[in-house]
Structure formats: C-alpha cells, structure tokens
C-alpha cells in the first residue's frame, strides 16, 4: 500500500507520473518537525536500511549520513556524502518494514544513525515535499510497488548489452580504427566504441572536429560494417561563441538559464565560457533534444550525457571576484591562515554552492532559483534526449545513459556510476551499488570497468571485468593521462578473451533477465537478505549478490586473492568457467566456505531447480545465435525451469506475450 503526504507547496518533479491521493492523517513511523524541517524515525537495534540508489558505503546504509545533491566529485571516498545522483528512496527492514520516497528536488540529507546510532533523520533544505510511505509483504514487494508507481525503466537496444571500449583521448577516426582492429585481430568480442569530448570541435556539443573526423557518416557506416556502434558524449554546457548555431539560437530564443537580472548565466566547463540550456523549461528542453538530430542523421544510435549535475568549473562572476581578491595578496607575507585562505579561493571556484543560487529556471512560467531544483537538471537533460528520440526515431531504441540523475529519469535512460578510480575499493563499491540502483528503477547501469581515474593493473581490470560481464552496461573507460586500459595493452590476452567471451555467451540470459525486470518492475540484482529474509547470515552479506532468480555472484575484489569466503544460504551448484574453455561444476552445501578462484576463473552459483540459457561464443551481439542455446542446469528436485524472454532486441513491442517461453528440464543431461 502506498500513502502520500504533502508538506508545503511542492515543485512538480515528474518522478511519479500518477500520484495517489494525499492522505489526511499523520505520517506513520516518523516524528515530523516542521520548524526543523525534519522527519525522524527511531530504528530498532537490528533494523537495516536499503536503498538511496547511487551513493557511497554499504548495501545496508545504516551508520552514515548521505546527501541527495548531484555533485561532480571524482573522489568517491568513504567520507563523502553524495555522488552524481539524487535517489531519495529507501526501505527500512526490521521491527517495522516500510519504504519511503521523498520527492523533493533540492538538497536533502538522510542521517541514518550518524548523529545518533538509533535515529534516522531526513532533513530537506526547504519544507516543500511529497513523502510516500509504502508498506507491503516484504522488501521485494515494497520495491515492486514503488517501481510500479514511478513507471517502467528504460530499455536499451540489444547491442548495448555488448562490451564497449571507451577512453577519454580517442582523438581521431584512426585512433578508433586502431582500437577496433586490435579487438577484432585478437578475437576479443566488442560492440561499441565511445567517443569522448575529443570528437567535438573545441568541446562544442553537436559539432564534429572536421580535421580528425572528416567523413563522419562514412566512418559511422564503416564501423557498423564491423558491427561497432559509435557512442558520442554530449555535455550539458553549450559553448559561448559567436557564429556557433546552438549558442546563437539558444540566445535568440532565450533558452539558456538566466541570472536574477535576466541576463544569461555564464559558467565555465570544458570549452571555457558556456551556458546551460534551461532543461526545466518545456520549450527549451524540446529544442535541446532536437539537437541530437545532428548526430542521429549521421547514423549514430547511442549517446552518453555528461557534466549534467551541472558541473561548474567556475562562473564568470566568481572568477572575477577571486582574481580581484588575489590581487590584494600581492606582496603579503602569507602565514598559515592567509595561505589557507588564498588556496581556498581557487580551490573553492568549482561547483561552488553559491553559484547554484545565482541562476534561475523558467519552469513553464514559474521562475525558480536553481538550487531549489538542483537535482532535476541531469534528469531533464536526459528527458530532453529521450523525448526527442521518440519524436525523431520512434521505431528505434536509442542507447542513452547519463551521469547525473533523479528518480524518474530511469524512464528515459540508464546511468553510469561516474568517475570512479582504479581502486579495488571501487570495484567493491560498484558491486554494492547495483541493488540500490535497481531499487530506484535504474537497471541499465554499470561502472567504468578497470576504473576511470588513476592507473589500473592487469589484475584489477581482470577481476573487474569478471564482475562487469554481469552488469547491463559493460564498458571499460579511463581518463586522459592514466595508463592505457584497453585489455590488449596487457599480457594475458587469452584471459581477457575468455572473460569477455563469457559475457557474450550469457547475453541471452542477461537480456532476458533485464527485460523481465524492466517490464515487471523487479530488481535484477538483489542483496541476499531480500530473498532469504529469515537467514541471519544472509542479512550480513555485503559482497555477494543475487542475479535474477537463478544466480548468486561472489566476485573477487581484493588484490592477490586467489579465492574468497562465500556464504551459501542454501545448497547451490558452483559453476566455474576456466580460461582453457572447460567448465567445472560442483554441488556445494549451504553455509560459509572458502572457494578457490584463479585469476581468470569466472565462478558463479546456481540456485536449486534453475536453468541458464547459454549461447555459443560470438564476437559481437549481431552474431549471437539465439536459436541454438545450451542450458546450464541444476535439477535438485523433479524439474528445473526458466522463463525466457527473447525478442529481436530492437523493436518496441515489449509486452508481446510471444516473447516469453518456458524452458524446463527434468534431468541434468
Ligand atoms: C567527465 C566524465 C568522464 C569523461 C570526462 C571527459 O569526467 O565523467 O567519463 O571521460 O568528463 O569528457
């Protein structure tokens, strides 16, 4: 059951397409303090708290304070409180079990046992919120009700389930050709290459560098013949430049965000001075969406939206003020205090909270200061694209994922998990984030495999891919200036071929699981506790996940580890794919146990009476033979079965019942 409570006058976020009626009674579970703008719940000792989508720390969120404040911060460390997204949905599971969604587009904090161990306190920066309280049979049921309320998750084309290679630094057609050739020559499967900001002319959206990408439509075509999709990046900031049509038209029509005095707000991002299209204004949003046509017309079928928190390096006004202040330091003896102040001047320029108060949106006639709706910007940039794709390419599925997001954006695109680092701890963070993102409707997601910032190692990349082959978005991406991270830069080609190859064998299963999760509002990845609610050990597990109803994953995420402890909540069949092409299976009893996992072994566990369809090896999604599937089986009782979803991966008749079939087997043969 879902109940809605309203405080103040809410700004429409669009997260909930059809809102339930407002409840007259008092908000259950919480103590409401209108003056402090807080909602407080007293947690019982063993209550667990799940959710908050893209955020730091554990699967069980208890023990820290989190903030919904979309931020471009590349240092995803334990001490941080927020990442790029605002996903205000969580479930308390324990003496009482209920879900809460705080639909509020400004900054909100979730103190879950940080200030006081037993207290969960939600605080909004403005008393204008819609609060939904959801009760149900169990956590899965609560999540399902929530997902139904926020609408169906985005569905990408089948090729987007293939492996993608990316790097900030592919500067020309030849750079891309070299990547594709290396993969094809070594017979390591690949479906896409991502184009980072280097493809644009001086970092201008919807332009191409004519010197380095001179025949773009031909090049796109050439790549398609190789079964490679090119996926260009689009940034939120539009370069200020006379004669650049996107800028000129945006200015002429008044589509950019404005300062209080009505003049355009100028902030700097990659191209230097730039303007933000008013994504919260319907007309401006439609206009921005229409710009994607420039690349769609040249054969592009996928994009990633970036810097849309929005990220601000500095604003014209703040830079001027800092420059003037710096002048006053000339000739001064800088002591501890004045030197820190001096350092802070420049350091404080980027993503400065004051700058987010300095511009306004025209929400279809209502002027709203940006900070009040900050968390809706990236969402609406992606909505701009998603709605435009429906208008411009109604019969096609276009790949779209974004960096920043709010709940509701999951209907228009997926997300990647932002600028992580090549750290083992970030592989673990990637694992932990999958279920919380699924809870909030974000199914098409994954992290930069191998790590974006800092230098990776062959071992870290191998282990990360061994997990990444299960995430819907499977992309190896790295930052300019870091060690080159394409798998062929490392020694063990056979190992990488084997791991990535297995992804392609699993695609019939992964795609089927994705589609069922999207169409039914279910989670593809779940913590063990969701399926084994009465198992006190399962509740503690933070580094294993359930995938679909069939698999349990127990990834290796530590340097030099050649195995790990795993908890089995019931008897399972351990399946091990080895680099030499062999597969070993072993029935393992319930309980805690140590399993060996050699560096290139891919190990997973099958739950009793399940089947997994497996395809023959393929070099790209186009070549996957969906007609001749092998079945991995674990028949413990009389019969194992699998509900298999299969369509052409491109059409949009998702709900057609013909896409579903039942596979079953009574023997393991
Ligand atoms: C941002 C993105 C990253 C990209 C870079 C350059 O940091 O998060 O993925 O490579 O910008 O465009």
CATH code of the domain containing 123: 2.60.40.1760
Number of domains in the chain: 2
Fill in the DSSP letter of residue 162: S
Interval 560-610: pLDDT, tens: 999 999 999 999 999 999 999 999 999 999 999 999 999 999 999 999 999
Interval 326-337: pLDDT, tens: 999 999 999 999
Written as one string, the DSSP assignment of 602-660 is EEEEEPTTEEEEEPPP-SSGGG--SSS-EEEEE--SS-EEEEEE---SS-S-TT-GGGE
- Is the model's pLDDT at 161 over the cut of 90? yes
Could you give phi then psi for residue 611, rounded to 5 degrees? -130, 150
Residue 623 within a domain:
yes
Residue 239 within a domain:
no
**pLDDT for the residue 606:** 98
Residue 391 within a domain:
no
Q: Is 205 in the pocket of ligand 1 (CB under 6 A)?
A: no
Residue 268 within a domain:
no
Ligand 1, atom 10, residue with closest C-alpha:
168
CA of residue 76 to ligand 1 center, whole Å: 15
Range of the structural domain that residue 45 is part of = 2-150
- Is the model's pLDDT at 316 over the cut of 90? no
* Residue 141 and residue 171 in contact, taking contact as beta carbons nearer than 8 Å: no
Could you give phi then psi for residue 336, rounded to 5 degrees? -50, -50
Residue 351 within a domain:
no
Give me the mean pLDDT over the 76-93 stretch: 98
Q: Is 306 in the pocket of ligand 1 (CB under 6 A)?
A: yes
- Is the model's pLDDT at 9 over the cut of 90? no
CA of residue 637 to ligand 1 center, whole Å: 50
Q: Is 197 in the pocket of ligand 1 (CB under 6 A)?
A: yes
Residue from 232, 274, 306 whose mutation best tests the ligand 1 pocket (most atoms within 8 A of CB): 306
**pLDDT for the residue 669:** 82
Q: Give pairs for 34-37: CB < 8 Å, separation 24+.
A: 34/7, 34/127, 36/123, 37/123, 37/124, 37/125, 37/126, 37/127
∠ CA 316-322-324, nearest 5°, is: 105
Domain termination site, one of 150, 181, 211: 150
Residue 257 within a domain:
no
Residue 156 within a domain:
no
* Residue 417 and residue 433 in contact, taking contact as beta carbons nearer than 8 Å: yes
Interval 96-148: pLDDT, tens: 999 999 999 999 999 999 999 999 999 999 999 999 999 999 999 999 999 99
Domain termination site, one of 150, 174, 192: 150
Give the CATH number, domain containing residue 504.
Answer: 2.60.40.4040
Q: Are strands 602-606 and 551-553 parallel, antiparallel or unpaired?
A: antiparallel
Residue from 83, 233, 401, 485 whose mutation best tests the ligand 1 pocket (most atoms within 8 A of CB): 233
Q: Is 233 in the pocket of ligand 1 (CB under 6 A)?
A: yes
Domain termination site, one of 131, 150, 169: 150
Residue 549 within a domain:
yes
């Amino acid at each position: 059951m879902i109940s809605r409570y309203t405080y103040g006058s809410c700004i429409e976020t669009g997260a909930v397409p059809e809102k339930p009626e407002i409840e007259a009674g008092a908000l259950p579970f919480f103590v409401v303090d209108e003056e402090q703008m807080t909602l407080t719940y007293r947690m019982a000792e063993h209550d667990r708290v799940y959710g908050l989508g893209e955020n730091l720390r554990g699967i069980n969120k208890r023990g820290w304070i989190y903030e919904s404040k979309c931020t471009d911060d590349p240092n995803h460390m334990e001490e941080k409180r927020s990442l790029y997204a605002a996903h205000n949905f969580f479930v308390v599971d324990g003496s009482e079990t209920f879900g809460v969604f705080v639909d509020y587009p400004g900054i909100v904090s979730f103190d879950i046992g940080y200030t006081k161990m037993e207290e969960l306190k939600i605080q909004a920066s403005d008393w204008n919120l819609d609060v939904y309280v959801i009760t149900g049979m169990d956590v899965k049921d609560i999540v399902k009700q929530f997902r139904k309320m926020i609408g169906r998750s985005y569905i990408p084309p089948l090729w987007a389930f293939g492996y993608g290679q990316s790097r900030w630094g592919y500067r020309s057609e030849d750079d891309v050709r070299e990547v594709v050739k290396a993969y094809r020559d070594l017979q390591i499967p690949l479906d896409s290459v991502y184009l980072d900001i280097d493809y644009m002319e001086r970092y201008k959206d919807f332009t191409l560098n004519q010197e380095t990408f001179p025949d773009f439509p031909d090049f796109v075509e050439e790549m398609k013949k190789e079964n490679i999709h090119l996926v260009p990046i689009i940034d939120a900031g539009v370069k200020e430049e006379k004669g650049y049509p996107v800028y000129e038209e945006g200015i002429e029509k008044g589509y950019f965000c404005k300062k209080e005095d009505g003049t355009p707000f100028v902030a700097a991002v990659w191209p230097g001075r730039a303007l933000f299209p008013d994504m919260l204004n319907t007309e401006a949003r439609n206009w921005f969406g229409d710009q994607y046509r420039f690349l769609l017309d040249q054969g592009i079928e996928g994009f990633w939206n970036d810097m849309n928190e929005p990220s601000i390096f500095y604003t014209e006004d703040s830079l001027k003020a800092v420059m003037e202040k710096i002048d006053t330091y000339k000739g001064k003896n800088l002591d501890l205090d004045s030197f820190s102040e001096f350092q802070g001047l420049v350091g404080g320029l980027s993503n400065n909270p004051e700058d987010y108060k300095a511009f306004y949106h025209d929400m279809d006639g209502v002027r709203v200061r940006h900070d009040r709706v900050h968390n809706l910007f990236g969402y609406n940039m992606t909505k701009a694209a998603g709605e435009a794709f429906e208008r411009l390419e109604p019969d096609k599925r276009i790949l779209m994922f974004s960096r920043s997001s709010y709940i509701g954006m999951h209907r228009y695109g997926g997300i990647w998990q932002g600028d992580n680092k090549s750290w083992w701890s970030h592989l673990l963070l990637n694992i932990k984030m999958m279920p919380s993102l699924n809870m909030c409707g974000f199914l098409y997601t994954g992290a930069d495999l191998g790590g974006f910032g800092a230098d990776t190692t062959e071992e870290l990349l191998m282990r990360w891919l061994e997990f990444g082959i299960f995430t819907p978005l499977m992309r190896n991406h790295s930052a300019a200036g870091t060690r080159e991270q394409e798998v062929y830069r490392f020694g063990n080609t056979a190992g990488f071929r084997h791991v990535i190859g297995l992804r392609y064998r699993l695609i019939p299963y992964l795609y089927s699981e994705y589609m069922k999760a999207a169409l039914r509002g279910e989670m593809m990845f779940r913590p063990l506790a969701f399926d084994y609610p009465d198992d006190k050990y399962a509740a503690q597990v933070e580094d294993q996940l359930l995938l679909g109803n069939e698999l349990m994953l127990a990834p290796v995420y530590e340097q030099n580890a050649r195995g790990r402890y795993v908890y089995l909540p019931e008897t399972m069949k351990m399946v091990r794919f080895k680099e030499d092409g062999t597969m070993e299976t072993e029935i393992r009893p319930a309980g805690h146990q140590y399993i060996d996992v050699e560096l290139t072994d891919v190990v997973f566990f099958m739950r009793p009476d399940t089947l997994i369809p497996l395809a023959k090896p393929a070099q790209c999604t186009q070549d996957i033979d969906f007609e001749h599937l092998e079945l991995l089986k674990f028949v413990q009782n009389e019969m194992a079965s699998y509900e298999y979803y299969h369509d052409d991966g491109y059409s949009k008749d998702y709900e057609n019942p013909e896409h579903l079939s039942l596979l079953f087997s009574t023997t393991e043969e």
